[in-house]
Structure 1
């Protein structure tokens, strides 16, 4: 009797311990609260797309470090069955991992073992997907309370129970197949799910939208192209705002101190600039927004009156810098136009802009504003050659900023392009470009399509460079172990010395080229690193001469998730 009583009391104690926030049982799920999200940088998991609201891509884990990374081994893997681009990072809460596939499948795993817990396949049978630009990808999920959230190619935001995969609500933002699509990972902020629509290649008027995380009801919508009478509306010809582009297709960042949401905006439509005189705000810009209302506080435009599809969607990373003896609260970003920016995040003033790739169309800075070369605007009877190509000095692949080294690690593309204007008219659901193009090699970088480079955020200058014959299309992960992780198109996951760029380890050759975003997490005291192999995205579709290069054309496809540990 005493023995049975002791066991009952022990079992009750363990259950109470788990319930009260002690060591959670394997099948328990710890809710993701606002407080946890604010402290995501120090969490044992990986709670959002770029780990924290600063979009740092940096984890304070050092179990895997420069001295022992050579011992890294694969511990589990999963083959998705999809052949398109795999771009999402593993998002981890406790021992639960969530990751998306192309065509909006959402998978839940046990993060330590790879046991598949549940699978959700979003129904796209009613959608033609003809207006999805640059592959049918998905870049991941957001977590809040006991739900996991995904944005979809048919313009829905779906909330699912994180433990079971049961749909809690599904909200339609726009009709599909008319130019709009969503490929980004949502951002949870102050009880809201924030997403952005894409569609700049189809004349879709971009917007950022906040939904109530519990109900899916709209809280606010901020169009990125202002209407007449709104601030910035005068920078567009009459009526052009309705088809002005400005997709908001990458996840934003957030500054708690100033309560400011930062979100990037893409290219104007049509591409041919002569058809839309003016600066065309707020395309190719970063917007500083009030997260409660979506009101614009300030903006900075990377490429005024863009005609080269240079966008401004790239992630902005919050970091404190000291430039020329003065301290700044900054956001830094490596733009498609080939320039690396530091901007004062309190007021939107440019701190510096430095080239990190060959850049000929965007030529410099005057009075805090970017200057472009008017002679490099294409026209119907004029072909131009310019650098970088529209794929960018860096495309969507996210940078990481390491607070220990004060360096930004930038996945870089070395390519140029020819462009020529064409006649074009708008019709919903059809491309709205007005230009033809071809991606070609950068003459300054023979036999080198890509690179990983480290940039000192205090100066904007390059510290080290790792060249690659193949394009480098994977995101960056940095850790307190002095490491930079990123995947090569050659099918290897690399670990670089964060200070020197020396390759300390690379994985055995994986099943496909890597363009996924690596992440890292700790379960039961053990650190893991995960990344998708699964070549695809824009490069094979729009890559011109680069895509035709036999070394690039023969990169294997096929989605495969790999997880490593010591």
Structure 2
């Protein structure tokens, strides 16, 4: 059972709660009138008392993402309407969590751009694009996204896609200091939100798919000087270890395999949390490089600190403890997912815990004082392990080796849960997880060779979903959608059991927001923002935002009125690569937005035209063999952004719908970098001109097939004459077989 208080001791007795709520709302109003950007250590520690604000990434240092505000409640949420919106002029993913401090809303967008907006009206106060080097976008595994900011002493802190940590004046948006945090000779990026603890700005990085060595750094918030750095994997054994614990970690790696030449991985690319009472900083560590442990470390070993939760001293970076969720990680099962701190009553004893639902499909409850495992159960279907042994803390693995043959396994690299934040609701005691069930075929890439400019996973990942040119797009979409499920999951962490789930109609959705009066908010990949009863899962409100949502909503008050704000813009890892999961109703003209709602809001979004116009592709001059070669090349190099069968998500260029000018300048775009400013970097040096022509031939064939399908749609006789009906029947048989395989694997 959960005691009737949160990790910070917030009382939940109704009378006391009401009295404190009135007094704190008054305090929040007083804070609005003062110079609100004076965020210091005390204000961060007492963030839970500032009901009108959202001054940290998870609202409080416990990262619970819960606001007691209840002006918007179960009884009136159906009257929630749009107050205002702000067009952002981007068609890439928006993953950020806004900060709201004393009437101003601060957030980050694509390409690490920073914004400040009047939280009452949506008026743009300033924007700074931070002069990001867009060539670094080629190393962003999962879209050129950014998840948010941190604030301290009238300064905002942003990590950039090109590896910098930038401090901005919160009033003007001007740069105060700018520090490069990575070696630009390596394919590092930054997409995660910084945190500020005790006057130090904490930032990690990404790039493990390409080949880097992970670490987290602390910079002085005032000067930008590096205070300390903690590496998450050991370096070359011939060099001195940066700290004593890395010497112990090195014993879990096989030095004969020279893992350090690629880097080892272990990037700290997202979640952190801080406990001021214990003075412990918690970080989540990512996957290995390459994913394939048989290539990375064939002799075996745990490969610390991959896929681990690590506790550090925030002033020095000193190691305190760790818990590894997936020893010897070999499936991209990161532990970078959201970390939540709370006090939980378990078997009659209150325990200070840290909770995580990492990619591997198990929900972990640890004692946050020392990292001891309390409980772990699978929250989605899992096939790689039977259970977590509570005595050893280690998984009891199944026969999941992919060295000799492929293994169809749950979860996929997208995880049972990915970066989208969970929330904890003290009124129910439940954690709300944006979860998914999705499998993948893991199979060793026998021809693996390290390429510093491209993905280095050591598996035939995307080759397994190569789509022949003749397969109709609607079949790809239907089969894909049938094998990928997404849902909002209410999970009882004390009893380790599911309470309810609500199907989101997409496997890639937003983070969750818990608010007073038993509400939970979540956006969906299908283009809606929803509110649920936190206890029962009943959907109470459903709003069409016109495109997929992956950003995380927040709530706040200005002048005594409660608002809910969310960034709307489809993209990210799954959203970028798999168009079938997106809001297929969306027109390609819809750009990303910041939407803000309030009770009685009357603003309307402009109408959109939801139809695509398919241009006539150029004549096909390639042979069937060349088209097949082009399909293989496309699904090796291009699929990560443009999707299987070129079914892109609606905000990115759908290569089946290229116009005459794009066809004419294809090589200039692919090899010459003609659209670099839009994020399409040059592939010169990665593919040859001949290979570019083969890929182009495949896309031309897809264009003709798509156009033919559009022309003959609805006419059975025309489809039989054109041969499309036969193709549909063939693919239908394949789809049914795949669905049966999926079901048998699940059973």
Q: TM-score, normalised by structure 1?
A: 0.91
Q: Secondary structure at the match of 1:35?
A: helix
Structure 2 distance, partners of 1:163, 1:534, is 26
Structure 1 distance, partners of 2:187, 2:370, is 34
Q: Tell me: CA distance 1:514–1:259, structure 2 relative to 1, closer, same or farther (3 Å).
A: same
Residue 322 (structure 1) shift: 2.1
Residue in structure 2 matched with residue 329 of structure 1 by the alignment = 352
On the 8 A contact 1:245/1:269 being kept in 2, the answer is yes
Residue in structure 1 matched with residue 563 of structure 2 by the alignment = 528
Structure 2 distance, partners of 1:307, 1:357, is 19
Higher alpha-carbon deviation: 224-233 or 445-454:
445-454
The 5 A counterparts of 1:207-356 are 207-227=215-235, 228=237, 230-238=247-255, 239-241=258-260, 243-275=263-295, 276=297, 277-356=300-379
Indicate which of 154, 171, 196 corresponds to 1:146: 154
* Structure whose alpha-carbon radius of gyration is higher: 2
Q: Secondary structure at the match of 2:520?
A: strand
Residue in structure 1 matched with residue 613 of structure 2 by the alignment = none
Q: Given the alignment of the two structures, is residue 462 of structure 1 paired with residue 498 of structure 2, yes or no?
A: yes
Residue 427 (structure 1) shift: 4.2
Structure 2 distance, partners of 1:213, 1:559, is 31
Structure 1 distance, partners of 2:159, 2:355, is 26
Residue in structure 2 matched with residue 31 of structure 1 by the alignment = 38
Indicate which of 46, 49, 61 corresponds to 1:42: 49
Structure 1 distance, partners of 2:450, 2:313, is 33
User: Cα deviations across residues 219-244 of structure 1 (Å, max 9, x unaligned)?
Assistant: 00000102446221111111324510
The 5 A counterparts of 1:396-407 are 396-407=419-430
Unaligned runs of 5+ in 2: 1-27, 238-245, 466-476, 600-747
Residue 41 (structure 1) shift: 1.8
On the 8 A contact 1:131/1:178 being kept in 2, the answer is no
Structure 1 distance, partners of 2:383, 2:450, is 30
Q: Secondary structure at the match of 2:503?
A: strand
Residue 364 (structure 1) shift: 1.4
Residue 317 (structure 1) shift: 0.3
Indicate which of 338, 351, 373 corresponds to 2:397: 373
On the 8 A contact 2:383/2:398 being kept in 1, the answer is no
Residue in structure 2 matched with residue 549 of structure 1 by the alignment = 580
Structure 1 distance, partners of 2:30, 2:370, is 44
On the 8 A contact 2:292/2:459 being kept in 1, the answer is yes
Residue 372 (structure 1) shift: 5.0
Residue 447 (structure 1) shift: 6.5
Structure 2 distance, partners of 1:123, 1:550, is 32
Q: Secondary structure at the match of 1:200?
A: coil
Residue in structure 2 matched with residue 565 of structure 1 by the alignment = 598
Structure 2 distance, partners of 1:554, 1:372, is 44
Residue in structure 2 matched with residue 357 of structure 1 by the alignment = 380
Residue 435 (structure 1) shift: 0.6
Q: Tell me: CA distance 1:255–1:551, structure 2 relative to 1, closer, same or farther (3 Å).
A: closer
On the 8 A contact 1:135/1:537 being kept in 2, the answer is yes
On the 8 A contact 1:154/1:177 being kept in 2, the answer is no
Residue in structure 2 matched with residue 120 of structure 1 by the alignment = 128
Q: Tell me: CA distance 1:69–1:373, structure 2 relative to 1, closer, same or farther (3 Å).
A: same
Aligned length, in residue pairs: 540
Structure 2 distance, partners of 1:203, 1:374, is 28
User: Cα deviations across residues 250-277 of structure 1 (Å, max 9, x unaligned)?
Assistant: 1300111110000000001111111212
Q: Given the alignment of the two structures, is residue 538 of structure 1 paired with residue 573 of structure 2, yes or no?
A: yes
Residue 40 (structure 1) shift: 1.1
Q: Secondary structure at the match of 1:274?
A: helix
Q: Secondary structure at the match of 1:202?
A: coil
On the 8 A contact 2:547/2:583 being kept in 1, the answer is no
Q: Given the alignment of the two structures, is residue 130 of structure 1 paired with residue 129 of structure 2, yes or no?
A: no
Structure 1 distance, partners of 2:483, 2:384, is 23
On the 8 A contact 2:490/2:501 being kept in 1, the answer is yes
Q: Given the alignment of the two structures, is residue 383 of structure 1 paired with residue 406 of structure 2, yes or no?
A: yes
Structure 2 distance, partners of 1:322, 1:257, is 18
Q: TM-score, normalised by structure 2?
A: 0.69
Structure with the largest fraction of strand: 1
Residue 553 (structure 1) shift: 6.0
User: Cα deviations across residues 365-418 of structure 1 (Å, max 9, x unaligned)?
Assistant: 223322253621222x42110001110000100100011110000001111111
Residue in structure 2 matched with residue 7 of structure 1 by the alignment = none
Structure 2 distance, partners of 1:131, 1:551, is 23
CA RMSD of aligned residues (A): 2.3
Structure 1 distance, partners of 2:584, 2:535, is 33
On the 8 A contact 2:84/2:597 being kept in 1, the answer is yes
User: Cα deviations across residues 114-146 of structure 1 (Å, max 9, x unaligned)?
Assistant: 111011012124634211110000001111011
Residue in structure 1 matched with residue 437 of structure 2 by the alignment = 414
Residue 426 (structure 1) shift: 3.2
Structure 2 distance, partners of 1:554, 1:130, is 29
On the 8 A contact 1:349/1:368 being kept in 2, the answer is no
